[in-house]
Structure 1
Amino acid sequence: MTAKDNEAQATQGGGGRVGWTRGDKTVLKALGLSGGIFGACPCCVDVKNGKVVRIRPLHWDWKYDPKSFNPWKITKNGKTLEPLYKSVPAPWSLAYKKRTYSPNRIKYPLKRVDWDPKGERNPQNRGKSKYVRISWDEAAQLIADEVKRICETYGPLAILVQGDGHGECKMVHAPHGCSTLLLDKLGGFTQQVRNPDSWEGWYWGSKHVWGKGYIGMMAPHDNIVKDICENSDMVVVWGGDPETTAWGFRGQFASRLLFFWTEIGIKQVYICPDLNYSACIHADKWIPILPNTDAALQLAIIYVWITEGTYDKEYVETHTVGFDKVKAYVLGEEDGIPKTPKWASERCGVPPWTIKALARDWAKKRVSIGHYFGGGMIRGPYAHEPARLECVLLGMQGLGKPGVHQAQIAYTGMPKNVVTGGADHMGPFASLQNTPYGERLLKPHRGTPTAWGKQMIPKTLIEKAIKEGKVECWCTGGHDGPHEDQYKKYVYPIPEEEGGTEIHMIWTDTPCRTTCWG
């Protein structure tokens, strides 16, 4: 985009006024900071004299007629929700210039001063010696030579790739680069597989209740946002803060959605230990709860529904298996302890009368449960329990009926969902399947959600693998795998005849091991 384009954008209402100084050129850049493949939060980056001077939202109507978009529209009670004709980036996206010019940013390749790849490497000085700047050509040659040396000496699986988790939004070059695609063409690699740390409880718990689902959460989830807006009476946001959590992934649409729910009369109940930003702004009722005690509250709600007969008996009879065991446990027939509101209150801190009121109000309404991504309640010890019990709660009130859903607010289930095929367990990554560019796009991105390396090590067991030389685990081969994957035994190294070997090199773009999330 040139200065002439800038002037045209300002004149046509593209986010500014005629006469504003916009610089020599404007670059369009996706500035979502942890969204992976989506190209989220696109912004206009104004550059003058080779320096970033301003970052602002991208206005879609800069070059296009809004009518040509055929935009979605949701109408309820005389109120309308429709997309804006500009991006709504998060605050830190608009402040990306600070990151660009941070004094801590490493701008050039560096080599340790006492590291000679053809001589003495001095590994004992790692973390001690200084570094010297080298050229990009020298850096590329060093990497190529070392990769070839390792492959020829030990085999390709001697290279461990650490390129999982969240990364900056990129499509063509992938959030973690194309290292997995490159090494795949050289014969394979050992892959560090990310633990489903944002989704722990869902992954290890709910997958064993309702089957699969993307990372253990409800699927399919097409058009859930639309259905909730049109049919739900209440949304219980359980352990979530969509006002702020969404910033790394989806800009600020979640905020607009929560305000819209209030406008159209959808009651919002927040269950969380802290009065977070969303609860403070949007909650009709905030229910504080002690951390990691959600299962007790859930069991008490189930108790009220069973004893008062206020659950959907026909749905449970025709759509579920094993409810008799749930009922026996909740009523105390199994262990002699009825899971009453009083019993739960002593554990979770929620007063018995509040538990009863919530359960009764819930039973009278069409209610969805909302989270943003995994949500906080499934990241603590034994978090598979509240995850499994949430499936039971939803099932008892007719999961899948109009207005009764589990919603990852403004993440999956958006008004227009074009994902097909493997969406039930691959989620948004399924959109890269079977495309003309599948080889070039899907494989690099698969390094984030899927174990497709010939040899794998869970992220949490890397240290054990290096120190002890072997790992055996019943775990997971990738955080988007079907639930059957959890019954597979993984070993490192794999048999030697299959190319198995210990790792001798690490290719990483996520070297922060102790304080970084994602």
Structure 2
Amino acid sequence: MTVKPTTHSSHWGAFTAVLHDDKLVVTPFAGDPDPSPILKNFENALDHKVRIATPMVRRGWLENGPGPDDRRGDDEYIAISWEEAYALVSGELSRVATTHGPESVFGGSYGWSSAGRFHHAQSQVHRFLNTTIGGYVRSVNSYSSGAASVILPHIVGDMNEIARRGVSWEEISEHTDVLLSFGGLALKNSQVASGGLSEHTERGFIDKAAKRGTTFISVSPLESDLPDEARGEWLAIKPGTDAALILALLHVLNANQWSDEDFLARYCVGWDKLVAYLCGAEDGQMRDAQWASEICGISAARIESLAAELYGKRVMISVAHALQRAEHGEQPVWLGLVLSAALGQPGLPGGGYGYALGALGHYGKHHNQVSFPALPQGKNGVKDFIPVARLSDMLLNPGEEFRYNGQTLRYPHIKLAWWAGGNPFHHHQDLARLRRAFNQLDTLIVHEVAWTATARHADIVLPATMTLEREDVGGAPTDRHLFAMQPVAKPFGEAKDDYSIFAELAKRLGREEAFTEGRTAREWLQHLYQQMQEKCEQQNISVPNFEQFWEIGQLQLPQLKDGGRLLRNLRNDPDRYPLPTPSGKIEIFSQTIADFNDADCPGHPVWLEPTQKPDSQNPLYLIANQPATKLHSQLDYGKHSVSQKLDGREICRLHPQDALSRGIKVGDTAIISNSRGAVLASVEISKQIMQGVIQLPTGAWYDPQDARAAHPLCRHGNPNVLTLDVGTSSLAQGCCGQITTVNIARFEDVAPAVRAFEPPVVLYR
């Protein structure tokens, strides 16, 4: 389409791109000090064979009509025209909404499909359902931070103020003596951020802090969770036991009179109740270093010396997403804050508590003075919702009661699910169960760029353009650059952007004006940009008009250095700036949570034994962490992602002793299994992983050898075949996908070829 470089942006970095003689050349943004290699995934993505070129309808749905069907995921597709697709989709949505009401429609999508602020698939599908049928059943929270997003408002008042507006990396590099990170600070995670990320600065700030004298300590089963630049210490811990370790550290602080009692008395409530628990006042069990050592695998002496190293220092405590993506994930999030409070650190420069520091490129950054506005989604007239990770529960158990954040709710009866820009077969757990859940639907409609596993389970597939094929504006509240996302290539085949698809469907449903407000996609971009421009003018910030911005390709916005303000304001003036909690203070004990009377999340943080523990059948932990070669499962077929596989499979890592005892060698194909299924993965052996632990990152597209099997074998290495689909607790019902238990063995047979990137059988009429 073009030989002139165009500006563009992605969740993993801004760039310029040029398409010449069908070869795409991507050049990272010149201002990025540490560009992400994930940008290379674009280079072969435009015309890959797995792209979807035309609307498709599943053969079984077309021949038999809507209804539950076990053939989803294992059926042929029939190519149809857009005219046929619009008629089928609008007719089915009308049927379901009229017969069963909008409360029978689930609006899926997970929001990560594009860094563009207008072509944000989640906003588009929600706006469409709100303006055409009056609403939809929604999901709340995220797979990444489902437990934290519920517990933090109870104990500190605001999650975003602790995470996205927390203590900045710049401040840490200048003031912090010790950064104790539970779950690490892996740079593979901070290379991505929703809305875009023009400057990857974490590596530089970590290096600066270490050179100044900051001590970095990473508590994790994986040494690789701490960058080399930190020059830090790796404390290997058994997965899922961080809460026990923190309780023991608190016990040591209290026993040695190292806790900051003045801070705890003035700014916190409930310390006395937690101390009673630490000392075993009710049950006789001391939560001391010896007790924790037997649980977490770190010696009692090291636990005691670690507490001593924290005392009297400027300390930053961080807790990664990973810790709360597990059973009782609320507890380490709560305890990280308590540990910081016991040390008297919240509100001090470079001290305090940072939830998810390093987990996303947003965190630890400064905020823009003015941000680009979001697309309005309209009013949702349906009150029903689910915690996002309870998707299978909802589809399999309509009408069943569930607990969430002190409420007893019921799962709605969903007939139609609409997914745009998301792949739940990447981020959901127990994929055989998820498949059974999707098979209960009357109809599943999916907008997709390529044949993901979710698209292969759809009844109607609408081909969507990828970000390089449409224009948008890329920006995030914590990124000082705003980018014109100029199209690089023409749409693949007959693909259309989500807005165009929804606008045509809204027209057929008689709601075009309500959805489009009379605007084209370009006019929406101009409208949203003008709103930002007006806000800038109110604050005496000069920005070019839209046409000038589009020609230049980028602009820079001023930022505020107000990270950590919530706890800093509390510390400076607790009467004027109380926290938005019932007490106005940090809640070490929460009467609200205690009154919920849920045994799996009591009124103060505790140690609760997980059900997922190694035994004779499944003797090893499996860590299913985020991949380094892609964002979630996006562009898994991309050049960089594929280059880091072996024999086409995802790579698992295990300790040399675990490999030796099983006769497994580097480069072997291994089978990893438990009662839910099995996956094949290529083998890497490393001392950077704790003995007794296997690491297999998420993101490999689900590729079952037998799609209808009760206990599937994934040829490609998707660990969510194995992970447990239960809530973190009755409080948050978050995702438990980080940790499970498995067995591993060398795969002795001829390994079947991976077919994840082979399109399904398509029939043309």
Give the alignment's TM-score, normalised by structure 1: 0.72
Specify which of 125, 130, 135 is matched with residue 184 of structure 1.
130
> Does residue 1:240 correspond to 2:173, yes or no?
no
Give the alignment's TM-score, normalised by structure 2: 0.50
1:139 to 1:264, Cα distance in 2 relative to 1, 3 A: farther
1:86 to 1:31, Cα distance in 2 relative to 1, 3 A: same
Specify which of 404, 409, 415 is matched with residue 504 of structure 1.
415
Specify which of 241, 244, 252 is matched with residue 293 of structure 1.
241
Aligned residues: 420
1:222-254 C-alpha deviation (Å, 9 max, x unpaired) = 553333222211211210243111233247322
Residues 279 and 286 in structure 1, CA contact (< 8 A), matched pair in contact too: no
Cα offset for 1:442?
4.4
Aligned to 1:416: 366
Residues 112 and 130 in structure 1, CA contact (< 8 A), matched pair in contact too: yes
Aligned to 2:398: 469
Residues 271 and 287 in structure 1, CA contact (< 8 A), matched pair in contact too: yes
1:28 to 1:189, Cα distance in 2 relative to 1, 3 A: same
CA distance in 2, matches of 1:243, 1:467: 38
> Does residue 1:443 correspond to 2:443, yes or no?
no
CA distance in 2, matches of 1:503, 1:380: 27
1:391 to 1:44, Cα distance in 2 relative to 1, 3 A: same
> Does residue 1:339 correspond to 2:287, yes or no?
yes
Residues 240 and 272 in structure 1, CA contact (< 8 A), matched pair in contact too: yes
1:468 to 1:390, Cα distance in 2 relative to 1, 3 A: closer
Matched position secondary structure for 1:276? helix
CA distance in 2, matches of 1:453, 1:170: 27
The amino acid across from 1:353 in the alignment is A
> Does residue 1:58 correspond to 2:29, yes or no?
yes
Residues 168 and 366 in structure 2, CA contact (< 8 A), matched pair in contact too: no
1:459 to 1:299, Cα distance in 2 relative to 1, 3 A: closer
1:320-364 C-alpha deviation (Å, 9 max, x unpaired) = 111111112212333222222222212111112211221111112
Matched position secondary structure for 2:114? coil
1:368-392 C-alpha deviation (Å, 9 max, x unpaired) = 0235xx4322222222222221111
Cα offset for 1:396?
1.1
1:310 to 1:127, Cα distance in 2 relative to 1, 3 A: closer
Residues 378 and 386 in structure 1, CA contact (< 8 A), matched pair in contact too: yes
Specify which of 42, 49, 59 is matched with residue 14 of structure 2.
42
1:223 to 1:210, Cα distance in 2 relative to 1, 3 A: closer
Alignment of 1:297-316 (within 5 A): 297-316=245-264
Aligned to 1:254: 202
- What percentage of residue pairs aligned between the two structures are identical? 22
> Does residue 1:491 correspond to 2:410, yes or no?
yes
Aligned to 1:457: 386
Residues 258 and 311 in structure 2, CA contact (< 8 A), matched pair in contact too: yes
Residues 210 and 231 in structure 2, CA contact (< 8 A), matched pair in contact too: no
Aligned to 1:362: 310
Specify which of 282, 287, 301 is matched with residue 353 of structure 1.
301
Specify which of 206, 224, 247 is matched with residue 276 of structure 1.
224
Aligned to 1:400: 347
1:299 to 1:120, Cα distance in 2 relative to 1, 3 A: closer
CA distance in 2, matches of 1:349, 1:152: 58
1:218 to 1:304, Cα distance in 2 relative to 1, 3 A: same
1:144-190 C-alpha deviation (Å, 9 max, x unpaired) = 33223333333333322111354332211114350110110123233
1:123 to 1:403, Cα distance in 2 relative to 1, 3 A: closer
Aligned to 1:24: 3
The amino acid across from 1:246 in the alignment is S
Question: What 5-or-longer segments of structure 2 have no aligned partner?
Answer: 429-631, 633-765
Residues 223 and 414 in structure 1, CA contact (< 8 A), matched pair in contact too: yes
Residues 190 and 503 in structure 1, CA contact (< 8 A), matched pair in contact too: no
Alignment of 1:97-246 (within 5 A): 97-113=43-59, 115-116=61-62, 124=69, 126-164=72-110, 166-176=112-122, 178-194=124-140, 196-214=142-160, 218=162, 221=165, 224-246=168-190
CA distance in 2, matches of 1:91, 1:195: 29
Cα offset for 1:453?
4.7
Matched position secondary structure for 1:240? coil
The amino acid across from 1:491 in the alignment is R
The amino acid across from 1:361 in the alignment is E
Question: What 5-or-longer segments of structure 1 have no aligned partner?
Answer: 3-22, 33-39, 60-84, 421-430, 476-485, 494-501
CA distance in 2, matches of 1:362, 1:383: 24
CA distance in 1, matches of 2:274, 2:407: 28
The amino acid across from 2:317 in the alignment is I
Cα offset for 1:298?
0.8
Residues 42 and 57 in structure 1, CA contact (< 8 A), matched pair in contact too: yes
1:392 to 1:457, Cα distance in 2 relative to 1, 3 A: closer
The amino acid across from 1:473 in the alignment is F
Residues 164 and 193 in structure 1, CA contact (< 8 A), matched pair in contact too: no
1:361 to 1:142, Cα distance in 2 relative to 1, 3 A: same
1:151 to 1:355, Cα distance in 2 relative to 1, 3 A: same
1:402 to 1:376, Cα distance in 2 relative to 1, 3 A: same
CA distance in 2, matches of 1:202, 1:465: 22
Matched position secondary structure for 1:248? coil
Aligned to 2:508: none
Cα offset for 1:315?
0.9
CA distance in 2, matches of 1:504, 1:202: 31
Matched position secondary structure for 1:406? strand
The amino acid across from 1:354 in the alignment is R
CA distance in 2, matches of 1:377, 1:114: 42
Cα offset for 1:269?
0.9
Aligned to 1:478: none
CA distance in 1, matches of 2:187, 2:283: 41
Cα offset for 1:402?
1.9
The amino acid across from 1:417 in the alignment is H
The amino acid across from 1:264 in the alignment is R
CA distance in 2, matches of 1:411, 1:237: 16
1:350 to 1:511, Cα distance in 2 relative to 1, 3 A: same
1:258-282 C-alpha deviation (Å, 9 max, x unpaired) = 2222222211111111211525552
1:122 to 1:387, Cα distance in 2 relative to 1, 3 A: closer
CA distance in 1, matches of 2:339, 2:65: 63
- The more displaced of 122-131 and 339-348 is 122-131
CA distance in 2, matches of 1:184, 1:492: 20
1:490 to 1:28, Cα distance in 2 relative to 1, 3 A: farther
CA distance in 1, matches of 2:167, 2:50: 43
1:237 to 1:98, Cα distance in 2 relative to 1, 3 A: farther
In terms of fraction of residues, the more helix-rich structure is 1
Residues 130 and 136 in structure 2, CA contact (< 8 A), matched pair in contact too: no
Residues 59 and 78 in structure 2, CA contact (< 8 A), matched pair in contact too: yes
CA distance in 1, matches of 2:206, 2:136: 43
1:202 to 1:43, Cα distance in 2 relative to 1, 3 A: same
Aligned to 1:480: none
CA distance in 2, matches of 1:152, 1:205: 38
Aligned to 1:5: none
CA distance in 1, matches of 2:284, 2:250: 17
